[in-house]
Amino acid sequence: MHDEIRDFMLYIASEKGLAQNTLESYERDVNAFAAFLADKGVTAWDSASREHLIAFLSHLQDQGYASSSICRTFIALKVLFRFLKRESSIQENITIHLSTPKLWQLMPEYLTQDEMDRLLQQPDAATPTGCRDLAVLEVLYACGLRVSELCGLKLYDVTDDYVKVKGKGGKERLVPIGRKAIKALDDYLTTFRGETGDDKNPPLFVTQKGKTLNRVSVWKMIKHRAQHAGITKNISPHTLRHSFATHLLDHGADLRVIQEMLGHASIQSTDRYTHVSQTHLKEAFDAFHPRRILTLSAE
């Protein structure tokens, strides 16, 4: 199977003109599926079934992967199986009757306001680790950051009003930050952060050993805090990003403004939040729909 993956990577690198980050993502995706198949005793691509593919995508969802990551993985596998069929390495393309998910039609998992409050109450701010974890949660929720963006923050990327974020493709954006998040950061910096050494702009979030906090540590922390908060949803750092966008929309924020804060290149990526923001839609209907107004006036 590894020989076919090598040939596949050479093919898409030379003929598809994909960006290096996309090539690396595709390689991780197909290797992950190959490892998943190996665990099931499947050692040849021609022995993989549609059920294996669906089980793998479900496994990613159970692991807390974002909908966008699962969709990208599915696309990578569709391209892989088209390649394998063209090269006569398989008899059947198991992806051919499965449609590509449309991201803006997926319902992102998000926390209610009550669940979000319970999660933020979990860390004990009187302890150094609890103080740091609260700052991480507050910044993720206040700014709608991707976990990679959070881990990439430097000490001087944060002001009293904004966070300078380096997003996908190296694009920078400024995101407003609320007072509660700033307070949590101030407490963390005075309680936990300690000395910064000779680095003129060191990482903002670090471990107890002074190493940069990584995405796996953040993922595990959020899982742990959510469990103790009694939250049964399968959440991840991306859930806080979804909650940020959904709650903004619920309270009347413009979709284009949310798009800018999330760093979405396309409004379609942001538009999917209208499918989960039922409160906002109901309020808009009650306020503006002519049939609703006529019914009220008739009463």
Active site residue 168: yes
The secondary structure of the chain, three-state, reads: CHHHHHHHHHHHHHHCCCCHHHHHHHHHHHHHHHHHHHHCCCCCHHHCCHHHHHHHHHHHHHCCCCHHHHHHHHHHHHHHHHHHHHCCCCCCCCCCCCCCCCHHHCCCCCCCHHHHHHHHCCCCCCCHHHHHHHHHHHHHHHHCCCHHHHHCCEHHHECCCEEEEECHHHCEEEEECCHHHHHHHHHHHHHHHCCCCCCCCCECCECCCCCECCHHHHHHHHHHHHHHCCCCCCCCHHHHHHHHHHHHHHCCCCHHHHHHHHCCCCHHHHHHHHHCCHHHHHHHHHHHCHHHHHHHHHC
CB 204 within 8 A of CB 213: no
Active site residue 264: yes
Q: Which of 16, 28, 86, 168 is catalytic?
A: 168
How far apart (Å, rounded) are the C-alpha atoms in residues 240 and 272?
A: 16
Active site residue 193: no
Q: Which of 146, 225, 247, 280 is catalytic?
A: 146
Q: Which of 193, 238, 247, 280 is catalytic?
A: 238
Q: Which of 78, 166, 264, 275 is catalytic?
A: 264
Q: Which of 132, 225, 241, 272 is catalytic?
A: 241
CB 134 within 8 A of CB 144: no
Active site residue 289: no
Q: Which of 160, 145, 116, 161 is nearest to 213 (CA)?
A: 145
Active site residue 180: no
Active site residue 154: no
> Which residues are marked as active site?
146, 168, 238, 241, 264, 273
